[in-house]
Chain A
Amino acid sequence: MTELINLSAAALAEKLRSGEVTSVEAVQAHLDRIAAVDGGERGVHAFLHVNAEEALAVAAEVDAIRAAGGAEADSLHPLAGVPIAIKDLIVTVGQPTTAASKMLEGWMSPYDATVIDKIRAAKLPMLGKTNLDEFAMGSSTEHSAYGNTRNPWDLDRIPGGSGGGSAAAVAAFEAPLALGTDTGGSIRQPGAVTGTVGVKPTYGSVSRYGAIAMASSLDQIGPVSRTVLDSAYLHELIAGHDKRDSTSLTDPVPALVEAAKAGATGDLTGLRVGVIKELTGEGYQAGVQQRFDESLELLKAAGAEVVEVSCPNFKYALGAYYLIMPSEVSSNLAKFDGVRYGQRVLPKDGPVTIERVMGATRAAGFGDEVKRRIILGTYALSAGYYDAYYGSAQQVRTLVQRDFDAAFEQADVLVSPTSPNVAFEFGSKSDDPLSMYLNDVATIPANLAGVPGISVPGGLSEGLPVGIQFLAPAREDARVYRAGAALEKLLEDAWGAPLITQAPELAAAIEEGAA
Chain B
Amino acid sequence: MSAISREDVAHLARLAHIEMDDAELEKMTGELSVIVDSIASVSEAAGDDVPATSHPLPLQNVLREDVVGHTLTPEQALSNAPDADEDRFKVPAILDGE
Q: Show the binding face of A for B, using Cβ within 8 Å.
A: 107-108, 110-111, 203-204, 217, 243, 246-247, 249, 313, 316, 318-320, 322-323, 330, 334, 337-344, 346-347, 351-360, 362-363, 366, 371-372, 374-376, 378-379, 382, 388-389, 391-399, 401, 433-434, 437, 448-450, 474
Q: Which 8 A-B pairs have the closest CB atoms?
A: A450-B56, A394-B52, A344-B82, A319-B39, A395-B46, A110-B76, A341-B80, A363-B19
Contacts of B79 in A (CB 8 A): 108, 110
A395 contacts B32, C-beta separation under 8 Å: no
B16 contacts A372, C-beta separation under 8 Å: no
Name the residue of chain A whose CB is nearest to the CB of B48.
A395
Contacts of B19 in A (CB 8 A): 347, 359-360, 362-363
Contacts of B46 in A (CB 8 A): 392, 395-396, 398-399
Contact mask B67-93 → A, CB, 8 Å, 1/0? 000001000110111110000010111
Contact partner of B16 (CB less than 8 A), chosen from A320, A378, A394, A474, is: A378
Contacts of B82 in A (CB 8 A): 338-339, 341-344
Contacts of A375 in B (CB 8 A): 9, 12-13, 16, 18, 28, 32
Q: How many of chain B's residues touch chain A, expressed as a range?
A: 35 or more
Q: How far is the CB of B56 from chain A (nearest CB, A)?
A: 3
B89 contacts A340, C-beta separation under 8 Å: yes
Name the residue of chain A whose CB is nearest to the CB of B71.
A111
Interface of B is mostly: loop
Q: Considering the chains assembled together, what is the distance between the CA atoms of A344 and B76 in angstroms? A: 19
Contact flag A340-B81 (CB < 8 Å), given A376-B35, A397-B53? yes
12 A-B pairs within 8 Å (CB atoms) are namely: A217-B54, A217-B56, A320-B39, A330-B16, A337-B17, A347-B19, A354-B92, A378-B15, A389-B43, A399-B46, A434-B35, A449-B56
Contacts of B89 in A (CB 8 A): 339-340
Q: How far is the CB of A513 from chain B (nearest CB, A)?
A: 36
Contacts of A243 in B (CB 8 A): 62, 64
Contacts of A107 in B (CB 8 A): 80
Contact partner of A397 (CB less than 8 A), chosen from B1, B52, B80, is: B52
Contacts of A391 in B (CB 8 A): 52
User: Considering the complex, which residues of chain B in the window 1-51 have a beta carbon less than 8 Å from any beta carbon of chain A?
Assistant: 1, 4, 8-9, 12-20, 24, 28, 31-32, 34-36, 38-43, 45-46, 50-51
Q: Considering the chains assembled together, what is the distance between the CA atoms of A448 and B17 in angstroms? A: 28
Name the residue of chain A whose CB is nearest to the CB of B83.
A344
Q: Considering the chains assembled together, what is the distance between the CA atoms of A448 and B42 in angstroms? A: 14
Residue among B12, B35, B64, B76 with max Cβ neighbours from chain A (10 Å): B35
Contacts of A357 in B (CB 8 A): 91-92
Name the residue of chain A whose CB is nearest to the CB of B62.
A246
A371 contacts B18, C-beta separation under 8 Å: yes
A392 contacts B54, C-beta separation under 8 Å: no
Q: Considering the chains assembled together, what is the distance between the CA atoms of A318 and B8 in angstroms? A: 24
Contact flag A393-B80 (CB < 8 Å), given A217-B54, A246-B62, A358-B17? no
Contacts of B31 in A (CB 8 A): 372, 433
Q: Considering the chains assembled together, what is the distance between the CA atoms of A353 and B91 in angstroms? A: 9
Q: Considering the chains assembled together, what is the distance between the CA atoms of A379 and B28 in angstroms? A: 12
Q: Given A340-B89, A343-B82, A401-B53, 19 more contacts at CB 8 Å?
A: A108-B79, A319-B41, A320-B39, A338-B82, A340-B80, A341-B82, A351-B93, A352-B92, A358-B17, A359-B17, A375-B9, A375-B32, A382-B12, A389-B42, A392-B42, A392-B46, A397-B52, A398-B51, A433-B31
Q: Considering the chains assembled together, what is the distance between the CA atoms of A243 and B19 in angstroms? A: 38
B45 contacts A355, C-beta separation under 8 Å: no
B52 contacts A398, C-beta separation under 8 Å: yes
Contacts of B92 in A (CB 8 A): 346, 352-354, 356-357
